[in-house]
Structure 1
């Protein structure tokens, strides 16, 4: 089964919370044009080995796909049936040069050297400049009787799996699919500039079939072997 409720959330970032603990996620409070609140939960550590997450940011992102995004309504838009018009696919979509992805720890002493700091830097820019965030991933909620556990809004509601969602082995194989990768795009409207943040796990293979399943093990097909230009 691929990601169950894949789509894109469009909104404004309001607040952040750094990830910590055994399964850390960087949390962002998002609000849409109707003041409905969502939380996006961004993995900053893998539960598989190696645990450091692959990261890449493009501060001047250009893609044919993004011209459609500003026309979307604020809030969540479901993306069905392997849709290349809006959905993201790291392998098929020519979105990134995967060889430029680097592994980063979730938290590390020092300046600008871990995922918490990297993501905070760009999301804070979005908050300061009222930029629009597009978060691709799997939606949960609304949970009518359950307040959000981090930002305490009701109903609980949000997006997770904001990372590559193919090439997984067990126990995450059922999440595999094509044109359903997660990611963060930030549109600074005044400059008409886009920033893209892409994440993947080192345990995921970059050689996948039409169902998103690995056709070669990671050792034979890692991200440095894939060049999409």
Structure 2
């Protein structure tokens, strides 16, 4: 369950990030909020996925986590932007919580017929909500819906595709593609994850251009 002070803590975190970004010559972009009705409709939205899935999506499994809900009711999207070439503003990918759309929330899903070692796999349990760019391939932070919510929260999984797709389960027996995958959870709530993200990005000893180091710092 989101802490009693989470909404105020979230505002303070965002204000702190805004100040830090300005001092660095960056900027924090905060988009308008979603309505409660729009947040409530997110689980139903995913039922419109246009491709056949290896395992079915169940709306009831995606309970919008309470601390994520509070975030969306404040801002639908938040991202850091910088000017690496001194001209155009670009998103700093490790700090980008996306506007939740059908495309973004299902970005980690694989359609039927996707295989690893000639065995069909499924990633339908992963609901992606933020970038986790590590420097090469797409990587995402996801809510994991195969477990029951605890206190209104879902655990978070880092889906890292820099080398090979290993976040997911085999369809035939339900086992993880990689037995180490559960080690990449790291957070039991969006609140804990976002608090950590703000702290990591502001670390003075961290090279923010070393995306792998940033990702590793998130999981320390």
Give the TM-score normalised by structure 2: 0.29
Pick the structure with more strand per residue: 1
| Structure with the bigger percentage of helix | 2
